[in-house]
Amino acid sequence: MHQGAALHADPLVAPPLAQVMERPGPLVVLDQLADPRNVGAILRSAAALGAAAVIVQDRHAPEETGALAKTASGALETMPLLRAVNIARTLVALKAADVFVVGLDAAAPPLSGPSLAGRRIALVLGAEGEGLRRLTRETCDTLAGIAIAGGGLLDSLNVAAACAIALYELGRR
């Protein structure tokens, strides 16, 4: 209830993966992100930067709560959010559909959007702190990072910030 008003609404229904594949833009795959504010910020960036959808793991991702929706600032209603039982199997299915899977890793060579021109991309981001899990990492076609200035003072970014930068870089193709 907010300021004396309450609203009862049905949950948003996620479209099937096949329908999402018809939409243009990269796919964002989140491997066990736990913070609803990070997922919300990623949804917002994905909507703003032309992603087709965001895919999360069914059991190890936050629910679509108020904190997630507030951070997404309207993107929850416009950006498809799909839940997958198994991320590695989902990546295999994407690869079978001719999607090139790029895992984001701070230690990898910098991501180059122009070098990926002409390819459909799935951008995979790992959990806060832990990064990509082993099987997820091994299922990716390649790993890429974000070039960070500052002489090594920072070795990584917040996952939501890294996602926004990576989506922007992919848009440079």
Non-local CB neighbours of 57 within 8 Å, separated by 6+ positions: 30, 31, 32, 83, 84, 85, 86, 87
* Cβ count near 22 (within 10 Å): 8
* Domain ranges across the chain: 23-147+155-171
Stated pTM of the model:
0.88
Q: Where are the beta strands (DSSP E) in the chain?
A: 27-31, 53-57, 81-84, 99-104, 120-126, 142-144
- The pLDDT profile of the chain, 173 residues, written as one tens digit per residue, is 456 777 666 666 777 788 888 899 999 999 988 888 888 889 899 999 999 999 988 887 767 766 777 777 767 777 888 889 899 999 999 999 999 999 999 889 999 999 999 999 999 999 888 889 999 999 999 999 998 876 554 567 889 999 999 999 999 87
* Alpha carbons 21 and 2: distance in angstroms, whole number: 37
Cβ proximity of 163 and 125 under 8 Å: yes
Non-local CB neighbours of 22 within 8 Å, separated by 6+ positions: none
Max Cα distance, the chain (Å): 53
At position 156, the amino acid (one-letter code) is S
Can you read off the two tokens belonging to residue 70? Answer: 């507030």
Q: Which CATH number fits domain 23-147+155-171: 3.40.50.12780, 3.40.1280.10, 3.40.50.1110, 3.40.50.300?
A: 3.40.1280.10
